[in-house]
Amino acid sequence: MTNKTILKSNKLVEAYYRLSLNETRLILCAIKEMQKDKQVDSKKFYIVTAKSFSDAFDLNIRTSHRDIKSGAENLWDRQLKIESLSLDNEIVDTRWIQSKCTIESGQVSLKFSDDVTPYLLDLKYCYLKVDLSIVGQMNSPSTIRLYELLVQHKQFKKRSFVLDDFKELLGLESSYNDYKDFNKRVLTPAIKQINDISDIKISMTTERKGRSIHTLHFKITTPKAKPTKPKSTQEETILPTKVVDHIEQAKAYKETEEAKKKIEKSPNYKGMKDALKGIK
């Protein structure tokens, strides 16, 4: 796990909740502080500073002071519904944090609730790695949620949601009664940003039930990483000052027509004629 990667239980990824962007980032940053602690203590307060916040998401340090204050302001009131780890098919209604306090300007300490902590610690399986360098670039909590829900299923290359269930996952069940408005303001911007900056590419189709949109179908692909080309000798200096260097350069470029053209155009071409004779 890198210093910009955190782990979340799959059940936490699929929990029902709504957070603002700054609240989402503050939670992610506090998880990072918790998981990098070698002596993990579920009762411990974890401190998020403006600097650690700005470092985690590559943000301006000045605005980070304001953002963590904004994120902490209403976090105590934020609730979530999550599937129980101990009871089959039971949903737990709980809070994200148990306590919080502002130690000083630009610094907030949080203690996760006892109900949430098991979804963050000692995760051996059924978890998602979240790359903060990716989600940190996202400017909407809905985009972050959609990304997490889809990257969780990237090995299956698809995922579908009943529209009403999906809106409830995002805490938007009482918003955007008109699908066109929901699509314009939430889905379309989220899909575009995920495709622009993340490690997956997604597309969406819809399925109707009667006249209404009923199901959202997402296709998920993982672009192949482009192989890194070894540094070409063409990028190196082709104007050595000694004849012996001319010869070595000529040998290096004997298979490279483009390099020969560069040499021929160089002001030192006269000094390299002898070396070039052997390059046919």
Read off the pLDDT of residues 130-179 as tens digits, 9 standing for 90 and up. Answer: 999 999 999 999 999 999 999 999 999 999 999 999 999 999 999 999 99
38 in the same domain as 10: yes
pTM for this predicted structure? 0.78
Q: Please give the pLDDT value at position 222.
A: 93
The structure tokens listed for 56 are: 């985690």
Beta sheet of 107-112, edge-to-edge order: 46-49, 107-112, 97-104
Read off the pLDDT of residues 22-58 as tens digits, 9 standing for 90 and up. Answer: 999 999 999 999 998 866 677 789 999 999 999 999 8
Report, in angstroms and rounded to the nearest whole number, the Rg of the chain calculated over CA atoms. Answer: 27
187 in the same domain as 133: no
Mean pLDDT within 68-90 = 91
The structure tokens listed for 24 are: 């989402």
Q: Is the pLDDT of residue 83 over 90?
A: yes
116 in the same domain as 68: yes
Read off the pLDDT of residues 215-261 as tens digits, 9 standing for 90 and up. Answer: 999 999 998 866 655 555 444 444 444 444 555 555 555 545 665 66
**Domain tally, the chain:** 3
Instruction: List Cα–Cα distances, 130 to 30, 55, 75, 135, 199, in angstroms.
Output: 13, 16, 21, 8, 11
257 in the same domain as 198: no
Closest by CA to 96, choosing from 26, 148, 10, is: 26
Q: Is the pLDDT of residue 183 over 50?
A: yes
Residue 194 sits in a domain of what CATH number?
Answer: 1.10.10.10
CB hemisphere CA count around 200 (13 angstroms): 27
73 in the same domain as 93: yes
Mean pLDDT within 48-76 = 91
Range of the domain at 254: 233-276
